[in-house]
Amino acid sequence: MRKTIILMLLAIFIVMAKAQQVIQGYIISIEDNKVYLDVTSPKVVVGDVLSVYSDAGYIIHPVTKKKIKKEGSIIADLEIIEVNNDYSVATIYPEDAIKKLKLGMTAQMPELTQEMKEAIEKEQEAELANEAELVFDNPENFTTAEQVIQWHLKSTGLDKMAANPPRSYLIETKATTINKKGKTVSVTHITRIVDIMSSSVYTKADVTLVVALKNLEVSSSSVVSNGIGWLKEGKKKAKPLDNYRIKEIIRGIDIIKDFTCKGYTCTLYGDLVVDGKSCFELVFSNNVKSCIDKNTGLIVAKSSVGEFRKIGILSTKVEKSLAMEKVIAYRQFGDYMLPSMTQTELDNGFLVKTEILQFVSNYPVKDSQFTKEALSGIK
For residue 299, list its beta bridge partners.
292
- How many CB atoms are closer than 10 A to CB 151? 22
Q: Where are the alpha helices (DSSP H) in the chain?
A: 2-13, 114-136, 145-156, 158-163, 243-251, 255-260
Q: Pick from 86, 2, 85, 77: which is nearest to 35 by CA?
A: 77
Q: How far apart are the first and last CA of the chain?
A: 42
Looking at the fold, whether 104 and 184 belong to one and the same domain comes out as: no
**Domain contains 155:** no
- Could you give the dihedral angle defined by the CA atoms of residues 289, 267, 162 and 273, in that order, rounded to the nearest 10 degrees? -50
* Cα 142 to Cα 278: distance, rounded to the nearest angstrom: 14
Instruction: Kindly report the CATH number assigned to the domain that includes residue 98.
Output: 2.40.10.410
Looking at the fold, whether 190 and 106 belong to one and the same domain comes out as: no
Q: What local confidence, expressed as pLDDT, does residue 317 receive?
A: 36
Instruction: Kindly report the CATH number assigned to the domain that includes residue 333.
Output: 2.50.20
**Domain contains 5:** no
Coil, helix or strand at residue 134: helix
**Domain contains 151:** no
Dihedral sign, Cα of residue 262, residue 264, residue 268, residue 270: negative
Considering just the CA atoms, what is the radius of gyration of the chain in Å? 26
**Domain contains 367:** yes
Domain region containing 37: 21-111
* Cα 281 to Cα 265: distance, rounded to the nearest angstrom: 14
**Domain contains 6:** no
Do 352 and 344 contact (CB within 8 A), yes or no? yes
**Domain contains 116:** no
Looking at the fold, whether 75 and 170 belong to one and the same domain comes out as: no
Looking at the fold, whether 172 and 267 belong to one and the same domain comes out as: yes
Looking at the fold, whether 358 and 236 belong to one and the same domain comes out as: yes
Phi, psi of 286 (to 5 degrees): -90, 20
Q: Pick from 258, 249, 251, 256: which is nearest to 304 by CA?
A: 258
Number of domains in the chain: 2
**Per-position pLDDT tens, the chain of length 379:** 444 444 444 444 444 444 356 788 999 999 988 999 999 888 888 878 888 888 777 888 888 888 887 777 788 889 888 888 889 999 988 888 888 899 999 888 866 556 665 665 666 566 555 544 444 446 777 888 888 999 899 999 999 998 888 989 999 999 999 988 888 999 999 999 999 888 899 999 999 988 766 778 888 999 999 889 999 988 888 899 988 888 888 877 778 888 888 777 888 888 888 888 899 999 888 778 899 999 899 999 988 754 433 333 333 333 344 568 899 999 999 899 999 999 988 878 889 999 999 999 999 988 888 888 888 754 4
Coil, helix or strand at residue 281: strand
